Amino acid sequence: MTRPAPTDVRKIAVVGTGLIGASWTAYYLSRGLEVAATDPAPGARDQLAAFIARVWPQLEELGLAANADPDRWTFAKDVESVVGDADFVQENAPEREEIKRDVFARIDAGAASDVVIASSASGMLMTPLQVRLKHPERCILSHPFNPPHLVPLVELSGGEQTDSTALDWSMAFYEAVGKVPIRLAREMPGHIASRMQGAMWREAVYLVEQGIASVEDIDKALAYGPGLRMAAFGPHMTFHLAGGSGGLQHFIDHIGESQVRRWKTLGNPELTPAVREKLVKGVAAECKGRSIADLEAERDACLIAVIKALGSARAAAR
């Protein structure tokens, strides 16, 4: 089999249909693709069907491909039967190296030799997963942000044995299905977005540890301040605009040293029992009795509103 053009992909194999895999499945269906899914967990097929039915109205609100069909998927218990005729494989197995290696070996043996195998791993690197594979050059990491059916970002990186053409192809494929892929020049634990998110949470935990403010007020500080600006632009562009007509050069020249002094005061907290208790009690108070399902519904509604608003604003600006 010859790898299809990125715009000619028709069938996706989704290996692992937990939270991330189910979300990927729904998204690919919304783009008019066929999906063959597999997961060994008891009840996995029914859970996947329920997830697709639940999120399909969200995908309709964001806009479906002309040939999108929520029923255009099949399910099997074994990996080999779903990857054999797939144009692309999205792997979402549990993040334990021994499990991932076994799953990758089975996909590698069953999929056509040129088909890209992409792992959704968030806390692992690709290099260890390529060990003893027959075709390691086509294996990449493609880390989505949760939930993948709503959040556009996908972080791509290769391992030591990945061929750059697999990454080139994958960048074009994800763009073709409406994602916003970014590419790491080399592997890095936590990739890009999770590292930046982790840095923000570390400081948020430090502020709680130091008794500076409540958990709820610290969350509000980000959500109603920097978070709004960063929905439009990332940190470098945000500070470029903070420099006025002189841009980032002016900002660094005039405020850079104060930023460095501030960096030196940033905390490095420990999750001691006392800090854990503060965090858990604080977020419970912030929830005000709302369940996880309630909060997920609110989050998803906000995500959809922001995505639609940004799309309209950017279309008008261009």
Q: Give me the torsion for CA of 293, 296, 298, 303, rounded to 10°.
A: -160
Q: pLDDT averaged over the chain?
A: 96
Mean pLDDT value of segment 80-84: 94
CATH 3.10.20.310 assigned to domain 6-183? The reply is: no
Mean pLDDT value of segment 272-283: 97
Q: Is 70 exceeded by the pLDDT of residue 39?
A: yes
pLDDT at 244: 95
> Which SS3 state, helix, strand or coil, does residue 41 take?
coil
Determine how many CB atoms are found less than 10 A away from the CB of residue 43. Answer: 9
Q: Is 70 exceeded by the pLDDT of residue 308?
A: yes
Q: Is 90 exceeded by the pLDDT of residue 82?
A: yes
Q: Which residue has the tokens 């990927």?
A: 24
Mean pLDDT value of segment 243-255: 95
pLDDT at 259: 94
Q: Is 70 exceeded by the pLDDT of residue 1?
A: no
305 by Cβ neighbours in 10 Å (0-12 / 13-18 / 19+) ranks as: exposed
Task: Report whether 34 contacts 110 (CB < 8 A).
Answer: no
Q: Which helix or strand (DSSP H or E) is residue 50 part of?
A: helix 44-62
Confidence of residue 77 (pLDDT cuts 50, 70, 90): confident
pLDDT tens, residue by residue, 251-269: 999 999 999 999 999 999 9
Question: What is the dotted CATH code of the domain comprising 193-287?
Answer: 1.10.1040.10
pLDDT at 282: 98
pLDDT at 318: 83
pLDDT tens, residue by residue, 178-219: 999 999 999 999 999 999 999 999 999 999 999 999 999 999
Task: Report whether 37 contacts 12 (CB < 8 A).
Answer: no
pLDDT tens, residue by residue, 94-150: 999 999 999 999 999 999 999 999 999 998 999 999 999 999 999 999 999 999 999
Mean pLDDT value of segment 293-299: 96
Question: Percent of the chain at pLDDT above 90?
Answer: 97
Name the maximum alpha-carbon separation found in the chain: 61
Q: Is 80 exceeded by the pLDDT of residue 317?
A: yes
Mean pLDDT value of segment 170-181: 98
Q: Domain segments of the chain: what residues?
A: 6-183, 193-287
Task: Note if the pTM is more than 0.95.
Answer: no
Question: Percent of the chain at pLDDT above 70?
Answer: 100
Task: Report whether 134 contacts 117 (CB < 8 A).
Answer: no
User: What residues contact 175, with CB distance under 8 A and at least 6 apart?
Assistant: 6, 181
Q: Which of 120, 144, 122, 147 is nearest to 299 (CA)?
A: 147
